Amino acid sequence: MKKYFVILSILFISSCHKQNYTALDKVWEPDYSVDRSQSSIQAFEKKDSVKMPAPGGIVFAGSSTFTKWQSAAEDLAPLPIINRGFGGSTFPEVIHYANETIFKYHPKTVVIYCENDMFGKKSKTPEQVRDEYVKLTKMIHNHEPKAKIYGVSLKPSPSRWKKKEDVEKANQLIKDFIKSDRNHDYIDIWPVMIKDGRPDGSIFLGDSLHMNVEGYKRWTAVLKPILQKDE
C-alpha cells in the first residue's frame, strides 16, 4: 500500500508541474484590427495567381524581418523558400491570416519569426508572447501534422535593447515549450548578432531595428545549414 501511495504522489506532483508549465497567462486582447494588413495579403494572392508555389516548400511566417529579406529565396537557394512575412505584424495577425500565408501552401517546413508583440501601445508580457506562439504552432500541427516547425529567437535590436530582459525571457519561454513539442526546433540567432555584449550596430539599418545585407548574410549562415538537413 505504501508503494502505491508513493507512486500516486509522484504522478500527482508531475501532473501539477505540467499544468503550471502549460497554463496560459492572462488572455491578451488586441487594441488594433487583426486584418489591418489586408493589402499585404492581397499582394501575396496576386503573386500566387501568377505562379503558385509547389506544395512541400519552406514557408517563412512572421513580421518585417522576413518581409525585408527580399533575397531570401536567392540567399537560401536551392531551398524552396516561400516568404510570407508581412511588415509590422504580431502573432494575432499571423494567426488570423494563417490560412492565406501558411496552410494554403501545404508546407513541409514552417519557420516562424515575429517580434512586435511586446512593443506596441498595449504590449504583451513574455508569457503572453509565448502563449500566442503556442497557439500558432498548435494550429500548424493540426493543419499540417507532418510539417517541421522552427522558431527563430526574437533578435537583439539596438532600438529595443531597453527591453532586453523581456525579450530574453520570451525567448527562453518559447525555447522551453519547443523542447516539449513534437517535430519542432529552436533557432538561436543571438550569437551572430551580438558584439561586445550588445547588438552589433554594423548589421542594422538606420532605424536600428531592421537588418542590412550583412545582417541577412549572418542569418543565412545560421538558417541554411539547419534547413538543408530536412531536404
What cell numbers appear for 87 in the block?
511588415
Checking DSSP bridges between strand 109-113 and strand 58-62, what pairing results, if any?
parallel
Residues 118, 124 contacting (CB under 8 angstroms): yes
pLDDT tens for residues 147-202?
999 999 999 999 999 999 999 999 999 999 999 999 999 999 999 999 999 999 99
**DSSP per-residue codes, 203-217:** GB-TTSSSB-HHHHH
pLDDT of residue 24: 58
Residues 128, 88 contacting (CB under 8 angstroms): no
Exposed/middle/buried for residue 86 (C-beta within 10 Å: 0-12, 13-18, 19+): buried
Beta bridge partners of 152: 187
Per-domain residue ranges of the chain = 37-228
Residues 6+ apart with CB under 8 A from 220: 75, 76
Residues 45, 100 contacting (CB under 8 angstroms): yes
Q: How far apart are CA 40 and CA 151, in angstroms?
A: 22
Q: How far apart are CA 4 and CA 2, in angstroms?
A: 5
Class level of CATH domain 37-228: alpha beta
Q: Which of 177, 99, 166, 82 is nearest to 133 (CA)?
A: 177
Q: Tell me the CA distances in angstroms from 49 to 42, 43, 45, 122, 150, one per residue in order.
A: 10, 10, 6, 36, 28
What are the 10-residue block averages of pLDDT along the chain, 231 residues in total? 42 39 66 93 97 97 96 98 95 97 98 94 92 97 97 97 96 97 97 97 97 98 96 78
Residues 193, 215 contacting (CB under 8 angstroms): yes
Q: How far apart are CA 125 and CA 134, in angstroms?
A: 14
pLDDT of residue 121: 87
